[in-house]
Structure 1
Amino acid sequence: MKNILVATDFSPESHHAFSVAVQLARHTGGQLTLLHVLEAAEGAAGGFSTVGGPVSGHSIDEIFVIKLMEATKRRLHALRDEAAQLAPGVPVHDEVEMARVGDGILAAVQRLGTDLVVMGARGHGAVEHFFVSSTTERLIRLAPCPVLTVKHPAADFAVRNIVFPSDFSGEAAGALDGLRQVQAAFPGATLHLLHVAAGADGHVAQQQMQDFANEHRLANCLAAEVDAGQVSAGIEAYAQRVAADLVVIPTYVRSGLSHFLRASIAETVATHAFPPVLTYHLAG
């Protein structure tokens, strides 16, 4: 998690994500790239805008695009200056993509060899920002690297409690590489192994989680089960109860696997749960 891409639309939520990313880069000795996407206007011939109407390609519109690029660069440079104050010595670069928002972020991830995308998230209906949940959900499904979503301010991103929800089946073992990377980044954090089920036998689940932890030599962990009708709701409730600093959810976009590994669960938690949520794909 050293080559970090921060996707920003300059909204409050994306600034929360920026703050977390700066702290994470300082903690890991990483570097940041700040990315803003000028979204292609529908039907435009060679022109772009962030939230406005189509840009037709005439000279006045070309001037508008140039001015828009200049204004965007100034805002990115202001974030670079802020990062230099918050974390002196952390390398910070900036990029502007011209594309549809999701496509632009994915293109930058590929071009830059990004290890982690950090982005703000807010719910459907937030038309003034591009980080509506549909964009977040698309990135979770398609990004080849982990995605960290941030919804609230985190002035002190000190990870002390990590929640890892799973059914702890054989498939869950495939998620351990990603989980170990998180534990290596935050070695002092308590790992909460969480099973969510409706009316399940808590004793059996506790034993299964303990066996899983012992088999894979997971250190500094606790096991818990939550009785909830919806997996995502159970994860959110438990994360709030233990004051989680980070929720880690592996996904595998393939039918037939455990519902804990379905991308839809990760997407719902990422756009609803209070703490930052890290999602990543299982190998294979």
Structure 2
Amino acid sequence: MKKLLVPTDFSPQAEKALKVAAQLARKHHCEIHLLHILELPMNKIDPLSSHNELPEAVFFMKLAHQRFKELIAKDYLQDLTVFEHVEFHEIFKGIFQACKKNTIDLIVMGSHGSNGLKEMLIGSNTEKVVRTSETPVLVIKNEHTIFKANNFVFASDFKDESKIPFEKALKFAEKFESKMFLLMVNTPNKFMTTADAQERMDNFTKNLDFKNYSLNIYNDETIEQGIMNFSQSIKADLIGVSTHGRQGISHFFNGSISEDLVNHAKRPVITFKI
């Protein structure tokens, strides 16, 4: 883990994520890439020209660089390597391109979460990033004076398709020096006997070199509630899940556990793309 991307709108919520990124950068010797997105019409903007058709573009570019200057002067960023980027895109597309261009290892984002009608019709920008990102996304909601991941819950169905995101999660567990609580949530709609669930998890982990983990089967009404309730019961520091990246009508009808957790969980959530 060498490069962290922190999207920012210069809000207090975004700064909470930046403070966590600063802690990670200091501990793991990473560089931070700060990204501000301006959602302006691309057909009227030439980023290489100082004579854009939209005077707003020039104004907001200058404003962003001024706010970057103020942000980078903060004490918690001193002696860290910080780069600033301003892009004209939809937010999730801008983040995708920034990750690809700068070979980012981890996105650290702040989120307010959302509920009810707003969540159904609009969704949060963080939710869209989680749905589409090829890069792992760490979502921060609260202030963390000391960010830790001593107890790291990784929730999965432990099918073969989950092995790649699980391997990514293991690398983060090793970096964070975490104990992993591997979690399968059993629900009435997708019921498995304890014996069957245990057998699936045993098969999934039989060749695992990582030793600091436990297998856990938890019963609840929904998978989302099970993950949050189990995490509460062990006082988890971090919740990890994989995401399919559903979009369009499939996403509307099927939903996504990872996006629901990003919206509703009080703890930090890290997502890994299948």
2:88 aligned to 98, 104, 107, which one? 98
Partner of 2:14: 14
Note if contact 1:140-1:263 (Cα within 8 Å) is conserved in structure 2: no
Tell me, yes or no, if the aligned pair for 2:40 and 2:57 is still in contact at 8 Å. no
| 1:74 matches 2:74 | no
Q: Which position in structure 1 is the counterpart of 2:40? A: 40
**How far is the alpha carbon of 1:79 from its aligned partner?**
1.8
Give the aligned residue type for 1:12: P
Would the alpha carbon gap of residues 125 and 73 (structure 1) be closer, same or farther in structure 2, given more than 3 Å must change?
farther
1:249, 1:278 within 8 Å by CA — same for their partners in 2? yes
Task: Quote the offset at 1:215 in angstroms.
Answer: 3.0
Letter in 2 for 1:216: L
**Counterpart code for 2:38:** L
Q: 1:236 aligns with which of 228, 240, 248?
A: 228
Cα distance in structure 2, aligned partners of 1:133 and 1:153: 23
SS in structure 1 of the partner of residue 73 of structure 2: helix
Partner of 2:135: 145
Could you state the TM-score of these two structures normalised by the residue count of structure 2?
0.82
Task: Give the count of matched residue pairs.
Answer: 255
2: distance between equivalents of 1:280 and 1:149?
A: 12
Distance in 2, Cα, partners of 1:45 & 1:198: 49
Q: Which runs of 5+ in 2 are unaligned?
A: 47-51, 117-121, 248-253
Letter in 2 for 1:2: K
Question: Distance in 1 between the 2:246 and 2:64 partners?
Answer: 38
- For residue 192 of structure 1, what is the aligned residue in structure 2? 181
Return 5+ residue gaps in structure 1 as ranges: 49-56, 127-131, 256-261
C-alpha separation in 2, matches of 1:209 and 1:153: 34
Give 1:35 shift: 0.7
Q: Distance in 2 between matches of 1:134 and 1:86?
A: 27
Which residue in 1 is equivalent to 2:164?
174
Q: Which residue in the other structure is 1:111 paired with?
A: 101
CA distance in 1, matches of 2:109, 2:66: 20
CA distance in 2, matches of 1:277, 1:9: 20
Residue number in structure 2 paired with 1:222 = 214
Name the Cα RMSD after superposition. Answer: 2.8
Offset at residue 159 of structure 1 (A): 1.5
Distance 1:155 1:90 in 2: 18
In structure 2, C-alpha distance between the alignment counterparts of 1:125 and 1:232, rounded to whole Å: 14
Alignment check: 8 A CA contact 1:253 1:263 kept: no
* 1-structure distance, mates of 2:204, 2:62: 54
Give the residue type in structure 2 aligned to 1:81: A
**Which amino acid letter does the alignment assign opposite residue 94 of structure 1?**
E
Q: Distance in 2 between matches of 1:217 and 1:263?
A: 33
Q: 1:116-135 to 2 correspondence within 5 Å?
A: 116-124=106-114, 133-135=123-125
For residue 161 of structure 1, report the CA deviation from its aligned partner.
0.7
- Name whichever of 214-223 and 178-187 sits farther off: 214-223
Aligned equivalents of 1:109, 1:208: Cα separation in 2: 35
Cross-structure match for 1:264:
256
User: Percent identity at matched positions?
Assistant: 30
Structure 2 vs 1, CA of residues 45 and 250 (structure 1 numbering), >3 Å: closer, same or farther? closer
- Superposition misfits of 4+ residues, deviation over 6 angstroms: none
Determine if contact 2:132/2:245 at 8 Å carries over to the other structure.
Answer: no
Shift of 1:114: 1.4
In the superposition, the TM-score normalised over structure 1's length comes to 0.79
